[in-house]
A and B are shown apart, each in its own frame.
Chain A
Amino acid sequence: MPLTGFSRFSVFWLALLTPSWVWAQQPFSGVTESVNKRMVKLFGSGGYARLANYGTGILVSPEGHILTVASHLLDTPELRVHLYDGRRYDARVLVVEPQLDAALLKINNLEGEVPYFDVAKAAQAPLAQPGDWVLAFSNQFRIATRDEPMSVQRGVIAAYSKLHGRRGIFEAPYTGEVYVVDAITNNPGAAGGALTTRKGELLGVLGKELRNTLSDTWMNYAVPIQALATFVEEGMAGRYKPKEKPKVVAEGGAYHGIILVPDVVERTPPFIEDVIPGSPAAKAGLKPDDLIVYIDGERVGSIKTFQNMMATFKPGTTVQMEVQRVIDRQTKTEKLITVKLELAEPVAKTPPRK
């Protein structure tokens, strides 16, 4: 809706020419100006191998605290900040939280105060809902320097869901829920930008460029401000301690007694070849030729995933398994059957064959 930059007067004349255009106008200009004043352009390390040496940040205190994402950009003693009015400062990194993919910076020797977003207040607002109209502000592609304004994009919240970054290639450091946006917001340099309501209220911080494993597409997302409020508050007070990375529990010891078909292709479907008599699987009523489809409601899809999922359960756990079974061979009718599988202590390294 391209009328943002037009004056009311020109809208009036346009109305004369194409009356129905009036409906399309969107009064975002006041909002964008107010948000822009509370955003900064960042310049740091990068500039090689597809890594941008520019980024975006959000002012979160009158003294010049900046919230942005944790990235290679900050790996430099010469981090530069451009304010909305063109003033340039050096900045330093106060604290980085890899698990939130967030960093808190502070402008060095700031003169006077700056407009800012009150993160604590923003975090008290309810979460935005799918379908809500939003605006995204960032310095993507380094289109702006000094006093030039950020790029503003309009979109809606497409979904509020967990990040599924493709592991091994771009592992998503932040594993919580995010706002997925239907505008193409996550471009080079956009990370650290602001996602706001159409009235300019801060909703979240734009993330990095990330491919979604669910759909194998690039994701456009922002981390909700609610997830970042404590980090910002404690970080500004100098109290924040980065979290320990939780250890992945991979015991793989629990015994189920399911023998699957050989894992021969990339996504071999987890068909049960055999069930060891007397094993938890046999007790649960699993049968050869059952196809394991869901474990505790999560789709399995392949033998590899099955093994990864089972490795996380300890003996004594009861898991709910949904299997597809042919219930009438003549009509080839298949049904999903739910069973409860109580995992046991491992009995021997190689379970005896029938």
Chain B
Amino acid sequence: MRGCSSFAVVRLLRLGALLGAFGLLGLVVPRQLPAADDDELNAAQEQAMKAAVRKVAPCVVQIETTGGTELISGGRIRKGVGPTTGLIVSSDGYIISSAFNFANRPSAVHVSVPGRPTREVARIVATDTTRMLTLLKIAATGLPVPVAAPKSSMQVGQWALALGRTLDPNVEHPPSVSVGIISALGRIWGKAIQTDAKVSPVNYGGPLIDIRGRVLGVLVPASPQGQDETAGVEWYDSGIGFAIPLEDINAVLPRLKEGKDLKRGLLGITPRSGDLYSAPPVVGTVAPDSAAAKAGIQPGDVIIEVDGQPVTRHAQLLHLLGGKYEGDVISLKVRRGKEEIKFDNLVLSGTVKVMAHGFLGVLPVRDDPELGEEVRYVFPKSPADKAGLKPGDRIMKIGPDAKQLRPFSGRDELTGLLNTLSPGAKLKVEVIRKDGKKTETLDVVLDQVPDVVPDALPERASAQKALAPRKRGGPKLPAIDKKERPEPPGKDDKNEEAKEENKAAKKPEIGLRKRSSPSQDREYWLYVPENYDPNISHALVVWLHPAGRFGQKPEDILDLWSEACQQHHLILLGPKSENETGWTASESEAVLQAVQEVLGQYTIDRQRIVAHGMGVGGQLAFYLGFHARDLIRGVATTAAVLTSQPKDNILHQRLSFFIVAGQKDPLVKEIADSKAKLVERKFPVIYREIPDKGHEYLDGTTLKELIRWIDSLDRQ
């Protein structure tokens, strides 16, 4: 608490005489502190906090809106009806607030300024979509402007007070206050201060202030993963809150005042490794027309400097680039082979093209601890087929050229390597032939993931050694020594192996089980086939029932699925919606909790976790696909329309879709449109229309195809 103690010396000279020697000078006086003086200290701090609030209060305005939607963020969050908060940033009527407060697109905005008798009509000037701030303008002059605390003076541990105008309708009263400290600096890729004061819709848009009454920052919901204006709201009042430093806001104010929305500046590369924290920043892909592509940066380049600052991990790169805007200019230094190349004047762009996954055309044999990967199946006419790869061959190494061939250990690692490659990428593949055990190197050019499901797949899908420790070979590779996160979620790690052994030791329950979640208030059922073997990784299908009668009872689905569960090693999970009428997006958390529980108890193939739903259940399946991307790899829907705007394909988090509509379903056109929307975002999509079916579940043929699709979801 250094920040507060230095303050205390200023403010509490009287107590300082008593305590100064004790605390700051390091002279420890071996005597007890009288309780009365403790009280005095508390009282003085309390008074100092109130004084700080009073100092800033005239700059904290109340914002009210008219119209707008009730629900925001795809129906996930209900927008409160109360007033929100803003902070005056210039005396001529500019007010900054959190973009969250306008996420429901209101038709009119009004501002009440303390000390002014009338409310003012406010205009939304511009939104900063990277720091999630909105600038408003009212017709007023002579407004009080707060003092910004310098970023250089901020210290973790110093007092931080969060102020808001939601609770009390009267702006002449002091704003609401929550007291905490600065928990961390440079959060959300360098953009935010973190505080443990309670931050929520009650004070989003309000200031976070220090104990001297200077503004540290403006409170916003934020999350290192999410990017829209509501990301991070789920953390409200949790003790994890964020504020954008006022100094940074003041710096960008002239640009916002011009009335143009500010976007995050993008370089246009993805990392080769999914591990942001321990792997070096090797460029995996370069988006066409991006700043990186224009400069001539190539896949395989290792980024060693950004704006003159050295970087050794991808996360550092994100920190340095996180706060940049579209149009900002940066310089980069990369290592290409033995050469170091400097790129100056890279102009960051606001959007980059979404990229699709490259497709080799093989299915792997799963659960094989040996080095490399055995080919289970070769997709006809795929790059692998054209290059002459055959089932039973063992892929041992891949690389961009003969000199850079890289060994790997098993399916998940190969998927991780392929994740960074787009269609058109040229690749060398070293294989040991099934016949003759000869080693050969093949040339392939990756293709698009096809929209077909193989008619028949070889029975042998697993080497049945899922619990065996994975073998390692070849040179030590930093990217795979540590547990990769979030993808690929292999069983490479020691802990993972120990956990697997535990799973084997405890006899798992098989058959149909009814369960309730740990918090006791949610029910779900689970079907584990009688032939369950922990040495075989099982696909997990999460069945999300529609509204109405069909599908709520496990029998409805098991009658159709149980045979396939035995034959193809599937586990079925059936959560139950809270209301008969269907699901709400907020229930996704309970569903995911159930998935996590099953993951902890059975050998589940992380590459084949599928959300499967019908009607409203299908809509939840779409939602889960986009919002639990570290977990869900496939979304299979029937009679469900994709209602929200889909997100983009992410190379490190594969996601495939299998969409079914009945031709007589009144929604068939909208369902077909869902396919187009997803293909536009570069997702692999299978779309089937069933003749003579209405708003119904799958017919036998399509169901069989779906099961083969699930079996082939780890295609590469």
Contact = CB atoms under 8 A, between A and B. Distances in A.
A169 to B, nearest CB: 10
B65 interface: yes
A311 interface: no
Contact of A293 (B78, B110, B177): B110
A161 B38 CA distance: 31
A8 B32 contact: yes
A214 B177 contact: no
Contact of B5 (A20, A49, A158): A20
Contacts of A301: 64-67, 81
| Size bracket of the A interface | 35 or more
A29 to B, nearest CB: 10
Interface residues of B, number: 68
Interface string A151-179: 00001101111001000000000000000
Nearest to B204: A215
Contacts of B120: 336
A26 interface: yes
Contact of A133 (B42, B53, B83): B42
B8 A23 contact: yes
B70 A214 contact: no
Contacts of A299: 64, 66, 83, 110
Contacts of A133: 42, 46
A19 B83 CA distance: 44
Contacts of B225: none
B22 interface: yes
B80 A215 contact: yes
Contacts of A19: 22-26, 28
B650 interface: no
A334 interface: yes
A155 B239 CA distance: 12
Q: Most chain-B Cβ atoms within 10 A of its Cβ — which of A199, A293, A335?
A: A293
Nearest to B62: A299
Contacts of A22: 19, 22-23, 33
Interface in A247-284: 265-270
A215 B202 contact: yes
B653 interface: no
A349 interface: no
A184 interface: yes
A71 interface: no
A300 B107 CA distance: 13
A346 B110 CA distance: 32
Contacts of A338: 118
Nearest to B118: A336
Nearest to A270: B66
B167 interface: yes
B11 interface: no
A230 interface: no
Nearest to A132: B46
B110 A336 contact: yes
B91 to A, nearest CB: 20
Contacts of A334: 121
A256 to B, nearest CB: 18
Contact of A30 (B35, B66, B104): B35
A301 B39 CA distance: 46
B322 interface: no
A12 B30 CA distance: 7
Contacts of B4: 23
B69 A267 contact: yes
A308 interface: no
B2, B39, B110, B202 interface centre (most CB from chain A within 10 Å): B202
B663 interface: no
A132 B79 CA distance: 29
Interface in B69-122: 69-71, 77-83, 104, 106-108, 110, 118-121
A226 interface: no
A45 interface: no
Nearest to B34: A27
B678 to A, nearest CB: 27
A301 B63 CA distance: 12
A227 B23 CA distance: 43
Contacts of B615: none
B2 A300 contact: no
B237 interface: yes
Given A15-B28, A269-B66, A180 B22 contact: no
B695 to A, nearest CB: 26
Interface string B195-224: 001101110000000000000000000000
Nearest to B9: A23
Contacts of B8: 23
A294 interface: yes
B167 A161 contact: yes
A128 to B, nearest CB: 11
Contacts of A183: 198
A212 B119 CA distance: 24
A279 to B, nearest CB: 23
A155 B46 CA distance: 11
B431 interface: no
A97 to B, nearest CB: 25
Contacts of A129: 50
A131 interface: yes
Interface in A203-231: 212-218
Interface of A: 8, 11-12, 15-16, 19-27, 30, 49-50, 129-133, 155-156, 158-161, 164, 180, 182-184, 198-199, 212-218, 265-270, 291, 293-294, 299-302, 322, 324, 333-336, 338
Given A182-B177, A212-B82, A293-B119, 17 more contacts: A8-B33, A16-B28, A22-B33, A25-B38, A26-B38, A130-B174, A131-B177, A156-B179, A158-B177, A158-B198, A158-B202, A199-B39, A215-B80, A215-B82, A293-B108, A301-B81, A336-B110
8 contacts: A19-B25, A22-B33, A23-B19, A25-B33, A158-B178, A159-B167, A267-B69, A291-B108
Return the 8 tightest CB-CB contacts between A and B, nearest first: A214-B82, A269-B67, A182-B178, A215-B201, A159-B167, A159-B176, A27-B38, A266-B70
